[in-house]
Amino acid sequence: MKHTRLHLSERFPDLVARAGLSQRAFARESGVSFSTIMGLLHPELHPGRRGGMQRRTAWRLAQAYATIARIEPEAAFQLLIVERTVEPSPGLSP
């Protein structure tokens, strides 16, 4: 059975920079740890993670970006978050 995982858009670093913040400052604004953001941006450096993020984390990031960029939270979510369909590994249930 296929399911989806939420990931940061490849544009995330540029969007945050254009909003005038470093990624560390954005982490503080969003209430999401900088290490979590780095793990989401560079999953290849964190092989023990399953990948993706919880929907709650995605919305925290979107809410913070919406406030900073002065846009609607739904628009911020669409800019920052990508939903990818994945198939579970053989022998594992979702």
Q: What is the pLDDT of residues 25-47, one digit of tens each?
A: 999 999 999 999 998 998 888 77
Domain spans of the chain, in order of start: 3-86
Q: What is the pLDDT of residue 91?
A: 57
Fold of the domain spanning 3-86 = 434 Repressor (Amino-terminal Domain) (1.10.260)
Q: What is the pLDDT of residue 4?
A: 83
Spans in the chain with pLDDT lower than 50:
94
Q: What is the pLDDT of residue 14?
A: 97
Q: What is the 3-state secondary structure (H, E, C) of the chain?
A: CCEEEEEECCCHHHHHHHCCCCHHHHHHHHCCCHHHHHHHHCHHHCCCCCCCECHHHHHHHHHHHHHHHCCCHHHHHHHHEEEEEECCCCCCCC
